[in-house]
Structure 1
Amino acid sequence: MIHHQSTSGGLIALPWYILIMSTDAYATLCEQYEQIANIQHAQSVLSWDQQVTMPEGGTPARTAQLSALSTVAHNALTDDIIADALETLRANSDSLSSDEKATVREIRRKHERAAAVPESLVAEMSETASEALSVWESAKANNDFNAFAPYLQRHVELNREYAEYIDPTRDAYAVLLEEFEPCLPLDHVESVLREIREALIPMIDAIRASDTTLATDAFTRQGTYSSANQEALCRDVLTTLGYPWERGRLDTAPHPFSMGTSFDARVTTRFDETDPLGSLFSTIHEFGHATYTLGLSDDAYATPLGEDRDLSVHESQSRLWENHVGRSRAFWNVLLPQINTHFPKTDALSVNEAYEAANQVYKDNLIRVNADELTYHLHVLIRYEIERALIAGDIDVAEVPAIWDDKYEEYLGIRPETDAEGCLQDIHWSHGNIGYFPTYSLGSAMAAQLYAAAEESIVELDSKVAAGSFDEIRRWLQTNVHQHGARYETDKLITQATGSSFTADAFISYVSEKYGSLYDLDQEFRVGN
C-alpha cells in the first residue's frame, strides 16, 4: 500500500489498482493536452503572421487554415479520451500531487467549456474573426464604421450564443469574461473597477484644475523622429531590459501585440514620427508580456503549468514594465542617454523634463494605447460599458459610434472627430474578444501590488533601475509569478506573491503619491484614499 495524508490529518491507504488507474489516466490526459496546446500554438503563429507579414490577399486561405485548426483543437479537447480520463481522476483525486491537481483543474475547466459548445459554432467564430481582421484594418484606414458593423454584429451574436451554451442561467458577460479572467468573479472585477474609477475621476479633475506646469512638450517641440531611428532605439531598450533575442523578435503591426511560448515570444510595435514615446512605451509594454511568456517553465511546455495565468496577470506584467519601470524617474537616467544617441536633438533635455513629458496627464488624447496612466482607465471603462451593453442587448451595434463619442465627451471631455480615432481604434472587437478590456485595469492594479511587494523584497530597487540593472526584478517576477504558470488561481497567486489578496489599494496609493507629487495636489491625493 502507498499512504497519503487524509483531509482530517490521518493517513489513508490507497489500493495499488487505484494508483495505477490514476497514473494511466493522468498520463493520457497530459498526452492529449500536449497535442491540443501545440495546435493552439500553431494557430497563434499563423495569427502573428496574418497581422505582421502575410500579404493582403492571403485572408481567404488564412481564414480556412485558422478555422480548421480551431475545429481540430476543439474536437481534441472534447474527445471522450479526455472526458474519460477526467472522470477517472475525479474519482481518484486523492492519489494526485498538488501540481497534478492543478493541471487536472485547468484542463477540466477548458474541457467543460469546450464540451458545452458545438464544433460548428467554434468554427464560425474563428472564421468570422479571421475575415473581420482585414475588414477592420480597411475600415479604420478609411474611417468607415459601416463596413465593419456587420462583423461586429455577428461577433456579438456569436458571443451571446457561446455564453448561452456554456451557462444559460448566468449573466452572459460574466461567462465571456471567464475566457480571459476565469478565476475572478464578475463582482470582484466590478468592485476593483469601481474603486479605480472613484479614485481617478476626482484626481484627474484636480490635475486639470492644477496650475502646475510640466514639460509636456519636451519631445514634441523637437520636430519629427524617423521610424528607422525609433526602431533602433526600441531595439536598444529591449536589449537593456534583458530581452533574449535568440527567443524573440521585434516587428511592426497595426495594433501592437505579443505572442509566443517560453521558447519564442515575439513583440510588435508601431511608429508615429511625431511621437517617439508612443513606440517606446508600446515596446516596453509588449516586452512585459514577452518576459512573462519567456519566464514560464520550459520543462512544463504544453501543460497548464507552462501556460500563463490568463490575461489579468499577463497585463500586470506588461503594465508593471511599462509604468512602474519604464515611466519611473529612475529609468529615465538610463533611457534619456539612449534617446540622445539616436536623436541628438534631444541632448538639451534634462531627466526631469523627460520624466514629466512621459508622465503628463493628457487633456486631449483620444487613443487608448497612447493614454497616460490615469486617463487610460477611463478609456478602458468606456469600452467595458459599451460591450457589456451590447451583449445585454441594451444598445445596437449601429449606435456604437454615437455612444462611444458621447462617453468620451462625458468621461474625458473630448469628442472624436472620426470613427477611426473613436470606436474603430482597437483591434479586440475584430477578433471577437468581448470581455477582454477589464483585464487592462485589473492588470494595472495587480502590477502596483506586485511592484510594491518587489520593492520590499529587493534592496534599493529604485537605485538598481537607475543604474540599468534589471536582473533582480526579472528574477523576482520569475520566481513569484512566471514560474508557476497556471498552478494557482489568480487571487492565490497574487496573495502568495504579495502577502495580500488582490485589491485596488496598492494602485490607488501608487498613483495618488506619484501624481499628487507631480501636479502638487492637495494632501488627499497623496495617500491611498
Structure 2
Amino acid sequence: MATDQTRYDAFVERVERLTYLQGASGVLSWDQQVMMPEGGTPARSRQLSTLSTMGHELLTNDEMAADLDALEADDSLVDPQQAVVREVRRQHDRAVRVPSDLVERTSRATSEALGVWEEAKAEDDFDLFAPKLEELIQLKRDYAEHVDPDADPYAVLFADYEPYLDLDTAERVLTRLREELVPLVDRIRESDVELAVDAFSGQFDTERQQAASRDALDTLGYDWDRGRLDVSSHPFTSGNQFDARVTTRFDESDPLGALTATVHEFGHAQYMLGLPDDHYGTPLGDDRDLTVHESQSRLWENHVGRTEEWWGLFLPTFTDHFPDVEATPRDAYEAANQVYEDNLIRVEADELTYHMHIVLRFEIERDLIAGDLDVSEVPQVWNDKMEEYLGVRPETDAEGCLQDIHWSHANFGYFPTYSLGSVLAAQLDSAVREDLDLSTQIRAGEFEPLREWLYEHVHRHGARYTTPELVEQATGEEYTADHFLDYVTEKYERLYDL
C-alpha cells in the first residue's frame, strides 16, 4: 500500500515539537551549570521539571501511540522513515510505562541536587550530598521498575544511554580492559624510563589557558558561529547541529588537563555540528547515543591531541601564551602521555588508568542501584577500590567520590559508555588511517580530511542505524576492543621501552 504521507508528516511534527522542547531544557541546564546565579535553583528546578513533564506527555500521548501503531503497519515506509519510527517507538515504549509525576519529581530532584553536589564538593563533605544521592537512587529504581520489572534495574538504566550494545557487552569489554591494562600499567611502573613529566610544571594563569584553549579550537576547525567556550565545574558539551557549546575547567598547576579536556569536548561538539541540518528535530538529525558520541571526543582527544604530531603543530602556539615553557614537541608528547602514579581524578587520567576509573564507578553504581551498597558506605568503598585498582587512596571526598557530576544528574548507567566509546575511537582511528595519512595531516594542521571522513562515515547518518550497524558501516567490521588494546600496547611499549 502507499505510504500514508499525511500521517507520517503529522507524526514527524509531533516528534519535532518534542525535540524542540527537550532542546529548550538543554539550554536551561547549560545555563544552570555555566551562567545562572547561585540563588536561581528553586525557580530553575521548577522550570526544568515542567518542561520534562510536558516532554513526557508529548512522547506518551494517545496521538503518538496511534501514529506509531499505524506507521509500523505500513510496509511501504522507506528505510529512513522506518528508522525514525523505530527510534521513537523505543523511546515511547519506555516512557509510556513511567508515571508523569515520577518524571517531574526526578527532574526537580536532579536540578536541586546539582547545587547540593557543588556545595558538597567545595566543602569536601559527602554527608551534604548523601541524602540527595539516596533520593535519586530511589527515583531511578522506581523508574527501572516501571520500565521493566523483570529486568536487572541497572541494565534498564544503561539502555537509556546505550540501547543497542547490551550490558553484557559492556561488562565483557570492561573486564577485558581490566585484565589486559592492569598488567601493562604494572610493567610501565617497573620501567626505568623517565618521561619529560616536568615539561609543564609551574603555575599557569587561567586566562592565558583559556586563550590557549580557544586557539586549540581554532586550530581544529571549531565553528564559532555555532559554538562557544565557557567555564564550568565539570567539562561538558551541550546543543545541536546549529548550536554546540563546549565548556572546560582550568587548574593553574595543570595546563594540559584543560587543553585535553577542550580537545575532548571539541570532538563532542564536532559530532553535533556534523549532524544533518535538514533533519534537525528527528532521530535522523540526532546523535547515535553515548558510545558513538564518546568515540568522537576520545578520537580527537587521544588519537589527535595526544600525538607527537599534534604537539609539533601546537606547541609554538602554546608557548606564545606561556613563553617560560621550555619544551620540545617530544617533551610535550611525553608529558601528555605519562602514566600517573597518583591518578586520583578521572578527567585528568592517562589513557590507560582512565578505564580503571570507569570500572570503579560502574561497580559502585551497579551495587547502589541493586541495593547491595548503602549510600553511607560509598566513600569507604570508593577509596578501597581506588587503592586496589589504581594504587592510590584519596585523602578527601572532593577528590574521591564527589569528583564527578553524573550522580547529581541521576545519570546511573552512563559511565560504561566512556570506555565503550574509547574502544570505538581506536577502531575508527584504525579505519581512518587506512584511508588518510592522518599523521602527516595532523603535523600540517590539515584537519578537514578527518572532519570530512567522520562526517561521511558517522555524523551524516544521525541515528538512522543502530550502534552495531553504524560501526560495521564505518569500519567494515563488528564492534571490537582489539584495535584499542593493540593501539595502547604498541604506543606505551614504545614510550616506556618495554
TM-score (normalised: structure 1): 0.93
Choose from 455, 458, 463 the match for 1:478.
455
Counterpart secondary structure, 1:95: coil
Distance 1:414 1:242 in 2: 38
In structure 2, the partner of 1:498 is 475
Does structure 2 conserve the Cα–Cα contact (< 8 Å) formed by 1:215 and 1:356? yes
Choose from 73, 78, 98 the match for 1:97.
78
Letter in 2 for 1:212: V
User: Which runs of structure 2 are paired with 1:38-117 in the superposition (5 Å)?
Assistant: 38-92=20-74, 94-117=75-98
In structure 2, the partner of 1:376 is 354
Does structure 2 conserve the Cα–Cα contact (< 8 Å) formed by 1:247 and 1:263? yes
Choose from 439, 446, 463 the match for 1:462.
439
Choose from 421, 427, 435 the match for 2:405.
427
User: Which runs of structure 2 are paired with 1:55-454 in the superposition (5 Å)?
Assistant: 55-92=37-74, 94-220=75-201, 223-346=202-325, 348-454=326-432
Structure 1 vs Structure 2: percent identity of aligned residues?
Answer: 59
Distance 2:247 2:453 in 1: 25
User: Which runs of structure 2 are paired with 1:504-519 in the superposition (5 Å)?
Assistant: 504-519=481-496
What is the CA distance between 1:25 and its match in structure 2?
A: 2.4
- Gaps spanning 5+ residues in structure 1: where? 1-13, 522-529
Does structure 2 conserve the Cα–Cα contact (< 8 Å) formed by 1:214 and 1:356? yes
Distance 1:493 1:198 in 2: 28
Letter in 1 for 2:95: A
CA deviation string 1:287-342 (max 9, x = no partner): 00000000000000000000000111100000000000000111111111111111
Aligned length: 498
What is the CA distance between 1:191 and its match in structure 2?
A: 1.2
Distance 1:421 1:185 in 2: 31
CA deviation string 1:396-439 (max 9, x = no partner): 00000000000001011100001000000000000000000000
Does structure 2 conserve the Cα–Cα contact (< 8 Å) formed by 1:384 and 1:438? yes
TM-score (normalised: structure 2): 0.99
Counterpart secondary structure, 1:465: helix
Letter in 2 for 1:30: V
Of 490-499 and 187-196, more deviation after overlay is shown by: 187-196
Does structure 2 conserve the Cα–Cα contact (< 8 Å) formed by 1:129 and 1:432? yes
Counterpart secondary structure, 1:179: helix
Counterpart secondary structure, 2:239: strand
Letter in 2 for 1:176: L
CA deviation string 1:212-253 (max 9, x = no partner): 111111111xx2110111011000110010000000000000
Distance 1:195 1:374 in 2: 13
Letter in 2 for 1:102: A
Distance 1:302 1:482 in 2: 15
Does structure 2 conserve the Cα–Cα contact (< 8 Å) formed by 1:333 and 1:467? no
Distance 1:108 1:25 in 2: 15
Distance 2:9 2:65 in 1: 14
What is the CA distance between 1:24 and its match in structure 2?
A: 2.5
Distance 1:119 1:466 in 2: 53
In structure 2, the partner of 1:10 is none
Distance 1:334 1:157 in 2: 50
Letter in 2 for 1:112: D
Distance 2:77 2:147 in 1: 28
Letter in 2 for 1:33: V
- Gaps spanning 5+ residues in structure 2: where? none
Letter in 2 for 1:281: T
What is the CA distance between 1:198 and its match in structure 2?
A: 1.3
CA deviation string 1:1-54 (max 9, x = no partner): xxxxxxxxxxxxx3xxxx25x322211211100000000000000000000000
Letter in 1 for 2:154: Y
Counterpart secondary structure, 1:265: strand
Letter in 2 for 1:452: S
Does structure 2 conserve the Cα–Cα contact (< 8 Å) formed by 1:25 and 1:86? no
Counterpart secondary structure, 2:279: coil
In structure 2, the partner of 1:4 is none
The structure whose Rg is larger is 1
Distance 1:90 1:250 in 2: 42
What is the CA distance between 1:450 and its match in structure 2?
A: 0.3
Does structure 2 conserve the Cα–Cα contact (< 8 Å) formed by 1:39 and 1:69? yes
Letter in 1 for 2:290: L
In structure 2, the partner of 1:520 is 497
Counterpart secondary structure, 2:160: coil
